Amino acid sequence: MATGHKRPPTSTGAETVAAEESRQISINRPQHFVLVHGAGHGAWTWYKLKPRLEAAGHRATVLDLAASGVNRRSIEEVFTFSEYSQPLLNFLRDSVPPGERVVLVGHSLGGLSVALAADMFSDKVAAVVFLTAFVPDTVHKPSYVLEQYMATAPKERWRDTVFRPYGDGDQEGSAMIFGPQFLSLLYQLSPGEDLELAKTLVRPSSLFINDLSSQEELSDDGFGSVTRVFIVCNEDKGISEEFQRWMIRNSGIENVAEIGGADHMPMFSKTQELCQCLLVIANKYT
């Protein structure tokens, strides 16, 4: 496992070159990307990617899910995955007009949020992209992939993560707090500055496994009807490549891309490669 961190380019010239590279992929038509963060993180995780997508002529919306980023709720006030994902669901309901379709990009736990959104608003979704993300199927309960992950991931992978129950008996949940050692595992190939940013901004979250296990399966007519793409990150130490490829097989996803040398946070470790990958996906699948 790599122990050093790559430093990001700091010159304006480097950023200009990156933006020009993004423009080199011809655009069939401008797309609207909606970027959804993973557990404990927030809209801030996309700060490097969003301007690159916009420089290429696309729209990019970043959202804080409940109890994430600058959202005012605490995780102790959120008991269901639907509540947690509500900012995304509200956005699709209220801010995407009829006839417009967006490209949903879910990272890590955000994969389940974009899957839920696609199931509810399939007519507003051009494609769903799972970026080294948890992806459900339409056969099992939405909790299935998380249950399989928890059963197969070695306990030492969690390092200094703390799991803490909350609630009063009528409503109960389990908070998950990432420690600096676990964050270092997720960010092992990312710039050190971005790891330090995460240590400052990451908040307690939850996997909502109990709630997801009580929900209905996602539908073939909803989630199963939209174009789905999985982006494999082959140096991910949080969700292993082996488990990523198991999820691809389990969900029946046929459209697969790969970013070599990317850790669990490709928006930091391979920003430009991720941007190029999304531009190709937008051209090919929408």
**Residue positions annotated with a catalytic role:** 108, 236, 264
d(CA 108, CA 239): 8
In terms of C-beta density within 10 A (0-12 exposed, 13-18 middle, 19 or more buried), how is residue 194 classed? buried
List the structure tokens of 151: 């059963």
Q: At what angle do helices 86-95 and 110-120 cross, to 10 degrees?
A: 40
Measure CA 144 to chain center: 18
List the structure tokens of 180: 């600096």
Cβ-based neighbours of 149, under 8 Å, separated by 6 or more = 134, 239, 243
The three-class DSSP label of residue 108 is coil
172 beta partners: 167
User: What is the dihedral angle through the alpha carbons of 15, 27, 264, 115, rounded to the nearest 10 degrees?
Assistant: 140
d(CA 19, CA 275): 10
In terms of C-beta density within 10 A (0-12 exposed, 13-18 middle, 19 or more buried), how is residue 10 classed? exposed
Tell the residue number behind the tokens 């605490």, with chain if given: 74
